A and B are shown apart, each in its own frame.
Chain A
Amino acid sequence: MNAFKRDKKEEEDGGGNPFQNLEKTTVLQEARTFNDTPVNPRKCAHILTKILYLLNQSEQLSTMEATEVFFAMTKLFQCRDIVLRRLVYLGIKELSSLAEDVIIVTSCLTKDMTGKGDLYRAAAIRALCTITDGGMVAAIERYMKQAIVDRSPAVSSAALVSSLHLSRVSGDVARRWANEAQEALNSSNVMVQYHALGLLYQARKTDKHAVIKLVSKLTRTSPKSPYAACMLIRMACKILDEVDDDEELLGFISSCLRHKSEIVVYEAAHAWFNLGRVGTKEITPAISVLQLFCGSQRPAHRFAAVRTLNKVAMTHPGVVTACNLDLENLITDSNRSIATLAITTLLKTGAESSVDR
């Protein structure tokens, strides 16, 4: 009976999982095919996928095994098949912390990142920066600065994000490349704008005046990218937390309550409460935004609203009472987290009169 059940299960899976029961040693043995010339892209891509799958299933490779696979993988650089090449980049990233002497691929990657195809270049930059250590940063600096201001958004984003990762390894990277990031900030691409702002903040965050200057310049033009806008709101909050009320910044945050992206609207409402300036006139629009979210079709919106209200209710129950009716509707929400949050919020704001309802 049991065997029958299992058969049926496998049948449902459509013949079982081709990646199930992979043996680490067998796969590593198969990786020797990488040394064959000419390279068979299909076959090698399949084997490389198996290796990546094993790593993703958190199979442990010893340093020796990892190094051996890594070196076999470098042979695949002779093949121009684009999927295979992209998988090699992925493999380099995954193995960079396990294998030894990974810097051997530096020249291959620098060649790819300065080459023709934009798709190669972006991915090569990201792979290159994972194998770069503090001492090597100077060697790739020139290429990175160029890539940051590249006209391809994919390349520019990849370079900006990688620089941010690199600034954990080598502290002053962000500061040295800030001019390029400043230029990238003017990009019309929403993601490039977001990543550039992230790198600029990293470069200036120790200098309060520089941050204030950056923020006040950007708030006037209000970034197009919703992600960048959220980041800017957070930066403004950080400043407001330290200085006295700055009309301009407060004005910016309340103007974001009318942003066309819901992500930004919520971020702005959330920011109002976290600033702890309850009592100002802008609190009413922020509350009505959350009230609107309480009635949303999407559980994530309702959750976001009720979680924020719950936090506000802890310190300022009076402000939240306006939403009591909406919260009462959420008690029976099909999502348990939302229902629980709604109940605990009401316990803080509710009066005796509402208990009966």
Chain B
Amino acid sequence: MDGQLLEPTLYTVKGMAILDNDGNRILAKYYDKNLFPTPKDQKMFEKNLFSKTHRANAEIIMLDGLTCIYKSNVDLFFYVMGLSHENELILMSVLNCLYDSVSQILRKNVEKRAVLDSLDIVMLAMDEICDGGIILDADASSVVQRVALRTDDIPLGEQTVAQVLQSAKEQLKWSLLK
């Protein structure tokens, strides 16, 4: 048994990534500089990870000394990485939180196009789930509460007249610009 006792540390998550169905990175974060020192190493790892996971719907894989837990939907792949001796169920809870938060933000419409349309909010959500490798929050509804704050998400009845006019104006402007 390589039997190392687990070091009591909060630095649990080594990386999180969202890839599309060609294995290209949509968003990815690595929290350990020593693991993948250069962007090239990261990309290589992602390619490798994708080629090993995109067909098999297996939820968990060991790769390059990391335990990677994943989940896919339509044209997206969600990954959470941790060291190989890390408690897999903790990593699993992080992945579930990531997936469920994105799903709630996109109103269950989890696909690439929707993620790109709300990229800013998804970025904020990833930032709320994990801070530098420490799990900041693992409860999807509380993560969503912390990030989904667009004013136009407030039901029409609760907006002021000025707000409605403003958003109408902006939408008109954008449609003309297109």
Cβ A335 vs Cβ B58 within 8 A:
yes
- Alpha-carbon distance between A18 and B150 when the two chains are bound, in angstroms: 20
What's the nearest-Cβ distance from chain A to residue B130, in Å? Answer: 10
- Alpha-carbon distance between A276 and B29 when the two chains are bound, in angstroms: 36
- In the complex formed, the residue of A with least CB distance to B28 is A56
**Most chain A C-beta atoms within 10 Å of own C-beta, residue among B29, B43, B120:** B120
Cβ B6 vs Cβ A234 within 8 A:
yes
Cβ A164 vs Cβ B10 within 8 A:
yes
Q: When the two chains form the complex, which single residue of A53, A56, A82, A300 contacts B88, counting CB atoms closer than 8 Å?
A: A300
What's the nearest-Cβ distance from chain A to residue B105, in Å? Answer: 12
Interface set, chain B 74-91, CB cutoff 8 A to A: 87-91
Cβ A234 vs Cβ B90 within 8 A:
no
Cβ B58 vs Cβ A58 within 8 A:
no
- Alpha-carbon distance between A87 and B128 when the two chains are bound, in angstroms: 12
Contact with B along A80-118 (1 / 0, CB 8 A): 001100110010010000000000000000000000000
Which chain A residues lie closer than 8 Å to B170 at the CB level? 42
Cβ B56 vs Cβ A336 within 8 A:
yes
| Interface check B157, CB cutoff 8 A | no
What's the nearest-Cβ distance from chain B to residue A266, in Å? Answer: 5
Q: When the two chains form the complex, which single residue of A53, A82, A234, A299 contacts B8, counting CB atoms closer than 8 Å?
A: A234
**With A191-B137, A337-B62 known to touch, is A314 a contact of B1 (CB < 8 Å)?**
yes
| Interface check B158, CB cutoff 8 A | no
Binds B, one of A25-33, A267-275, A324-332: A267-275
Cβ B92 vs Cβ A300 within 8 A:
yes
What's the nearest-Cβ distance from chain A to residue B175, in Å? Answer: 14
| Interface check B4, CB cutoff 8 A | yes
Interface set, chain B 50-99, CB cutoff 8 A to A: 56, 58-62, 69, 87-93
| Interface check B155, CB cutoff 8 A | no
- In the complex formed, the residue of B with least CB distance to A53 is B119
- In the complex formed, the residue of A with least CB distance to B39 is A58
Which chain B residues lie closer than 8 Å to A87 at the CB level? 120, 123-124
What's the nearest-Cβ distance from chain B to residue A129, in Å? Answer: 10
- Alpha-carbon distance between A48 and B120 when the two chains are bound, in angstroms: 9
Contact with A along B1-20 (1 / 0, CB 8 A): 11111111110000000000
Cβ A335 vs Cβ B1 within 8 A:
no
Q: When the two chains form the complex, which single residue of B112, B149, B150 contacts A13, counting CB atoms closer than 8 Å?
A: B112
Which chain A residues lie closer than 8 Å to B10 at the CB level? 161, 164, 194-195, 198, 231
Which chain B residues lie closer than 8 Å to A273 at the CB level? 1, 3
Binds B, one of A67-75, A177-185, A235-243: A235-243
Which chain B residues lie closer than 8 Å to A191 at the CB level? 135-139
| Interface check A282, CB cutoff 8 A | no
Cβ B3 vs Cβ A276 within 8 A:
yes
Cβ A161 vs Cβ B136 within 8 A:
yes
Interface set, chain A 184-201, CB cutoff 8 A to B: 191, 194-195, 198, 201
- Alpha-carbon distance between A226 and B113 when the two chains are bound, in angstroms: 36
| Interface check B104, CB cutoff 8 A | no
- Alpha-carbon distance between A205 and B6 when the two chains are bound, in angstroms: 14
Cβ A165 vs Cβ B87 within 8 A:
no
Interface set, chain B 90-146, CB cutoff 8 A to A: 90-93, 112-113, 116-117, 119-121, 123-124, 127, 131-132, 134-139, 146
Which chain A residues lie closer than 8 Å to B56 at the CB level? 334-336
| Interface check A21, CB cutoff 8 A | no
| Interface check A4, CB cutoff 8 A | no
Which chain A residues lie closer than 8 Å to B164 at the CB level? none
- Alpha-carbon distance between A303 and B69 when the two chains are bound, in angstroms: 11
Q: When the two chains form the complex, which single residue of B39, B69, B120, B139 contacts A300, counting CB atoms closer than 8 Å?
A: B69
Which chain B residues lie closer than 8 Å to A335 at the CB level? 56, 58-61
Contact with B along A296-315 (1 / 0, CB 8 A): 00111101100100011011
**With A263-B90, A303-B88 known to touch, is A119 a contact of B146 (CB < 8 Å)?**
yes
Cβ B6 vs Cβ A274 within 8 A:
yes
Cβ A274 vs Cβ B1 within 8 A:
yes
Interface set, chain A 23-61, CB cutoff 8 A to B: 42, 45-46, 48-49, 52-53, 56-58, 60
Which chain B residues lie closer than 8 Å to A334 at the CB level? 56, 58
- Alpha-carbon distance between A307 and B5 when the two chains are bound, in angstroms: 15
- Beyond the given pairs A49-B119, A301-B89, A312-B1, 9 more chain A to chain B contacts, judged by CB atoms under 8 angstroms and listed by A's residue number, are A18-B117, A56-B27, A126-B131, A194-B135, A230-B87, A237-B6, A263-B87, A300-B59, A337-B61
Chain A interface residues (CB < 8 Å from chain B): 13-15, 17-19, 42, 45-46, 48-49, 52-53, 56-58, 60, 82-83, 86-87, 90, 93, 119, 122, 126, 154, 157-158, 161-162, 164-165, 191, 194-195, 198, 201, 205, 227, 230-231, 234-235, 237-238, 241, 262-263, 266-267, 270-271, 273-276, 298-301, 303-304, 307, 311-312, 314-315, 334-338
Subset of 10 A-B contacts with CB under 8 Å: A14-B113, A15-B113, A93-B127, A119-B149, A157-B136, A235-B8, A262-B89, A312-B1, A335-B60, A335-B61
